[in-house]
Structure 1
Amino acid sequence: MRTASWGRQAGGYAAVVTVAETAGLTWEKDDRPLRGVPGAVRRDHGDLVKELRDLVKRVGVQLGTLTRALEGGFTVDTVHPYGWWRAELAGHPLARAVVRRLIWEIEVTPGQWRPVLPEAEHLPDAPDDALVRLWHPIRSDPGTVRAWRDLLTERRIQQAFREIYLLTPAEEDTRVHSNRFGHLVHHRRMFALFRARGWASGLLGPWDGSDEDEAVRTLAAGAWQVRFFHARADWAGDHELATTGQVRFARRLEGTWREVPLAEVPPLVFSEAMRDVDLFVGVTSIAADPDWTDRGPERAYWELAGFAELTESAEARREALQRILPRLEIANRCSLDGRFVVVRGDLATYKIHIGSADILMEPDNAYLCIVPSRRKSDGQVFLPFEDDRLSLILSKAFLLASDTKITDESILTRIKRGA
């Protein structure tokens, strides 16, 4: 992985700012890395420490903005002249940290695109006016997608295994709306995600006219609009829950939004919009809340959704696990079985759902509630994309593979009762 880095001296210490997937600040003495900010530096060079921390924060924001801007180009099929891209993006001292770890496509002949990963090879020779665009798996066959993911994992390069969302037979039948994301969610968490992902929506609540709303996002440079419907749950109590429903699309024609059948939505626009919606419900659904203990309709949904068929995002997580598990020190205790990671402990055998990270115990599928601390990978467990649920699954797998070493008596009691 190529990184950009530079340093500053502070007494006998060196501050090193590195830029890779994100920006970081470390301290060294005599070329040896230190665990934190040296006390002498904190005491005598406080202004420099603050200056560098602010710099790292600003660079991190800039890298995040660049990543979102590049992703936003998918729905408009953004292309760049190769000469400009090579100098201003792939060659930029900061942007290169993001750009060079992504797969790109260069149009070598009209209509023929060659994929390239700058991090893994030298930039090819091509005319300055050749076109370059960010590679998307929806444009490739499954074999090519698998090959790229194998390479990214092998080279320990973090790039999102971008999910593909295609029109389903059920959506062909409903024609103008999708019902695939009907869930029960924590509304305020979802509302925060709406804002973070550029969707406009009102806050639901116990006041007039706020029982239901639609989250709206404009895509493809204003040509397309997606709407995601949701409503306040009447029996939500203090949890501020909401139900989610239909996803609909509209196209701007003569200055007016006109709803269109899903089959008429460009595949990339449809896939990117549905990816956002899957993120919203996947992160905020109560099915992903292992502490959920309420009864009634909420519990019935929790039990059903917590072990349901995998969504596209969970399928991408499963594909990542296929590559990760054989590399782990607990590989001989883990296997994949449909929707689950099966972990063989000494006290019991466990099934971790790849979608929710909830746990069942064999042979009777007794539910086991565990909320472990996140296992720090310290470079040993490489995750091919950033995903809190993937980290949580691996954390639970490591814990359960060594279940005789668990010291929490409440967890041990539940394991022995269930087994």
Structure 2
Amino acid sequence: MPDDALATEARTDDGPGAVQAMMARACESEEHGSQFALLLQEALPAAERLDAGALRELAPLLKHVTARFARADVPIGYRQRVDRGLRALLASVDEAYLPEGVLPVHDTWAAPLRERVRTAPSVELTRFVRHLAGLSAPRPTRTWHRACVTLADEAAAREDVAECLRALAEDEPYCTREDGPHTGSSCGYHYVVHPYHGDVARGAVWAAALTGGPEAVPRLQALALRMGTSGRDLYEGPKLAGAAINALGAIDDPRALEALWRLRAPIRNRALRKQLDTALQAAAERQGITRAQLVERTVPAHGLGPDGSVERTLGVHTVRVAVEGAAAVRITFTGADGRALRTAPAAVKDGFPEELGRLKALAKEVRATLSSERARVEGLMSKDRVWPYAEWCEHYRDHPITGAVVRGLIWEFQDEDGHWRASLAAPGGEAAHVRLWHPIRAAVDDVRAWRERVVDEQVRQPFKQAFREIYLITPAEEGTATYSNRYAAHIVHYRRLYALFRERGWQTNFLGRHEGGLNGEARGEFGGGEWRACFHHEPVDDADWAIEYAATDQVRFERRHGRRWREAQLADVPPPVFSEAMRDVDLFVGVTSIAADPDWADRGEDRHAAYRREAGFGALTASAEVRRAALERILPRTRIAGRCALDGRHLVVRGELRTYRIHLGSANVLMEPDGAYLCIVQGRRAPGTLYLPFEDERLSLILSKAFLLAADHKITDASIRRQIGV
């Protein structure tokens, strides 16, 4: 129907004729998407006031305008309200009619519903699809839930939405360069769902969850991972991931809880993490427990036995997947001769490829859970969490994966008289309560004794505990009251800093020459989410776009009050929270400071040289003091003990050619007697099988340099020999 026909057929009365004229005028602006939408918005209220007979008379016009609007290039912010209005009008006059644009024309994920509409249209199916498209909120109401299940059954569409979910989770995405853009933009980006069809896609996700229940869990989890993790670069990703997360939260089944648990580690998006927390909180409330209890009770065991292993017989070989310590998961293959192999023999590879693939996938899943549990349990260091003894035994000590983490840690057990006693193993009898030991609560002599014991027994702790850094409020911080300048005025590599923020779970904005991009604030939550540390930083160079270096500034603390955060006095922050937050900040500065960059001296730059020398060889931080304490216990057990001595801030190493001073904070090396800087770039691993009580790259680097320089006459690297003067 051409535009002039619309106009000439318009009647002059105030009813249908006026609506027809307004819509004709709107269609004249079809090439100007936003104007087209605005004019239709003016026409919709008039159309909604018409009686049923007048609307039936306008049905052909409404269908025509709806189709033109569906094909027009209209910004998403203008489109949604008009779409809903036009579709509601059409539904009131022709319940069986599904307007063009409700389902995408080409997207593969919608093919099952689209094919049903084409080959077997029905009023029930149209009602169901319109119901899906009517979902605009992240979490639908219970009324929407009930109607969705009823309409899906009336339309016999359960299998269709299950297939839609599969396609959303697994099918290849579209690329705007190859498949055409969503809008007039020529930028290239990938998408699974056209932004015009986000609502109906989220509706399909929810319908699949509500009708499929536990059977939908694996694909909901896959969809959340696909659309919600960094690096995917998928348009509309977070919204669709949010639908999958919220739908998982609505499924009252252990498999859904396990899926939510697994999503906690890979998803870093702040909004999605809030939705994860909301879903877990709702599930916890259904069970009458706290969110923390829910998380620890849903750690997957992956079918492992109490000893952390599972065995399968493949032909004449026994294949064993086992957790070994707090950081390793291994597969071994034992033949009829009793000899265990680390690699799959040909008989297993060729004879049982599918079973072998499943066992390798199982090992990968167990590794991911083990890594996540190490991080989760370490996060408990900032919480004042106390468990009933039986509950701790069930969910920590006796769990096949979590147990591998906790067995290398120091725990405190409370007896019936209320006294706490620290131990590496559970006491022989029953204890009343259990809590994780933190050195900030212990006496200095007790900390020293635990460090000696850990080294003597060569306990490899899953994270620093006995040797954990302690950060107490200083007199200067008592004076500033609300902020700390302890880590201010450092020059850091900004990209490394930003990556480390993300790795440690801190939320931050990205610095750059854009609005708000010159003031950085990273936020990390501690104490079970009741406290938040804020680390301020800003660009230090004059780059037009990419920020290479940043300068650090204050650290402040905030306390949660309902849904808001309020600034807190440093003196009010619980000591474990303050210590753990400052430990993270120390890590950020120590790892990303230009003072720790071994390549800096080769750049011929003098910018920030004074800072680099001061920070690279200056006073020791708490983490460096812990390295010193570890070296005091490790070095006497090594073959270079007679050539090493700890002297203030340095490890002094006496080689055959020269004497060297390795700074315990930066691992930078100075040579005596002139104090010349020695640049050594090498792998950050301690030599051989040297025991270390905890993982620490800087400690490994210091030891590797010490072993190298103690035998400096054997060095073959030409650049090092030249600096030494050989």
Shift of residue 155 of structure 1?
1.5
The 5-angstrom pairing of residues 367-386 of structure 1 reads 367-375=677-685, 377-378=687-688, 380-386=689-695
Aligned mates of 1:71, 1:8 — CA distance in 2: 33
Q: Which residue of 2 aligns with 1:262?
A: 570
- Contact 2:333–2:343 (CA<8 Å) still a contact in 1? no
1:223 aligns with 2:525: no
Answering whether residue 326 of structure 2 is matched by residue 21 of structure 1, we say yes
How far 1:43 moved relative to its partner? 5.2
Evaluate the alpha carbon distance shift between residue 255 and residue 28 of structure 1 in structure 2; reply closer, same or farther with a 3 A threshold. Answer: closer
TM-score (norm 2): 0.53
Task: Please state if 1:389 is matched with 2:698.
Answer: yes
Q: Which amino acid aligns with 2:361?
A: D
Greater Cα offset, 254-263 or 58-67:
254-263
Query: Where do 5+ consecutive residues of structure 1 fail to align?
Result: none
Counterparts of 1:271 and 1:192, CA distance in 2: 22
Q: Does the CA contact (< 8 Å) of 2:512 and 2:547 recur in 1?
A: no
Determine if contact 1:85/1:132 at 8 Å carries over to the other structure: yes
Aligned twin of 1:61: 368
Query: Relative to 1, partners in 2 of residues 1:14 and 1:305: Cα closer, same or farther, differing over 3 Å?
Result: farther
- Residues of 2 paired with 1:362 and 1:146: CA distance? 33
User: SS at the partner of 2:378?
Assistant: helix
Q: In structure 2, how many angstroms separate the alpha carbons of the residues matched to 1:222 and 1:26?
A: 38
TM-fit CA distance, 1:9 = 4.7
Structure possessing the higher relative contact order (Cα contacts under 8 Å, 6 or more residues apart): 1
Mark the CA change 1:374 to 1:195 in structure 2 (over 3 Å): closer, same or farther.
closer
User: How far did residue 214 of structure 1 move?
Assistant: 0.4
Aligned counterpart for 2:487 among listed residues 164, 177, 181? 181
Alignment of 1:98-109 (within 5 A): 98-109=405-416
- Note closer, same or farther for the CA distance 1:343–1:27 as it changes in structure 2 (3 Å cut): same
After TM superposition, the structure 1 = structure 2 runs for residues 237-276 of structure 1, keeping only pairs within 5 Å, are 240-253=548-561, 255-276=563-584
Q: Is the 8 A contact 1:314 1:355 kept in 2?
A: yes
Structure 1 pair 400–50 and aligned structure 2 pair: CA distance change class (3 A):
farther
Comparing 49-58 with 176-185, greater Cα deviation is found at 49-58
Aligned residues of 2:658 and 2:724 also touching (Cα < 8 A):
yes
Structure (1/2) with the larger strand percentage: 1
AA at the equivalent of 2:534 = R
Cα distance 1:246–1:95, how it changes in 2: closer, same or farther (>3 A)?
same
Task: For 1:45 and 1:397, locate their aligned partners in 2 and report how far apart those are by CA, in whole Å.
Answer: 49
The alpha-carbon distance between structure 1 residues 404 and 239, as it changes in their structure 2 partners (threshold 3 A), is farther
| Counterparts of residues 10-409 of structure 1 (less than 5 Å) | 10=314, 14-19=318-323, 20-28=325-333, 30-34=337-341, 36-38=343-345, 41-42=348-349, 45-109=352-416, 111-118=418-425, 123-127=427-431, 130-159=432-461, 160=464, 161-182=467-488, 183-235=490-542, 240-253=548-561, 255-293=563-601, 294=603, 295-375=605-685, 377-378=687-688, 380-409=689-718
The answer on whether the counterparts of 1:349 and 1:362 sit within 8 Å (CA) in structure 2 is yes
Q: Structure 2: which amino acid aligns with 1:22?
A: A
- In the alignment, is the contact (CA less than 8 A) between 1:23 and 1:59 conserved in 2? no
Residue in 1 that maps onto 2:104:
none
Query: Could you say what secondary structure the match of 1:208 adopts?
Result: coil
What displacement does 1:399 show?
A: 0.9
Q: Deviations over 1:3-30 (max 9, x none)?
A: 7344445556554433111232244554
Query: Which amino acid is 2:709 matched to?
Result: L
Q: How many residues align?
A: 410
RMSD: 2.4
Contact 1:15 1:25 in 2 (8 A): no
TM-score by length of 1: 0.90
Q: Distance in 2 between matches of 1:321 and 1:36?
A: 36
Q: Which residue of 1 aligns with 2:94?
A: none
Larger Rg: 2
Q: Comparing both structures, which one devotes a greater share of its residues to helix? A: 2
> In the TM superposition, what is the alpha-carbon distance from 1:244 to its structure 2 partner?
1.0
Going from structure 1 to structure 2, the CA distance change for 1:24 and 1:347 (only over 3 Å counts) comes to same
Name whichever of 277-286 and 51-60 sits farther off.
Answer: 51-60
Amino acid aligned to 1:162: R
Shift of 1:185: 1.2
The separation in 1 between residues aligned to 2:340 and 2:596, in whole angstroms, is 38
Deviation at 1:73, TM superposition (A): 2.8
Judging changes above 3 Å, is the alpha-carbon distance between structure 1 residues 137 and 416 closer, same or farther for their aligned structure 2 residues?
same
Q: Distance in 2 between matches of 1:376 and 1:5?
A: 30
Q: Deviations over 1:149-189 (max 9, x none)?
A: 11111222122121110011221122211111121111122
Q: Displacement of 1:92 after TM fit? A: 1.7
Percent identity over the alignment? 51
Q: Distance in 2 between matches of 1:84 and 1:235?
A: 56
Whole-Å separation in 2 of the counterparts to 1:383 and 1:407: 27
> What does residue 266 of structure 2 align with?
none
Decide which moves more: 7-16 or 173-182. Answer: 7-16
- 1:113 deviation in Å? 0.7
Cα distance in 2, alignment partners of residues 351 and 28 from structure 1: 48
CA distance in 2, matches of 1:374, 1:233: 29
Letter in 2 for 1:95: T
The CA distance in 1 between the partners of 2:345 and 2:404, in whole Å, is 28
Distance 1:292 1:404, change over 3 A: same
Superposition deviation, residue 39 in structure 1 = 5.7
Give the distance between the partners of 2:322 and 2:342, measured in 1 at CA.
16
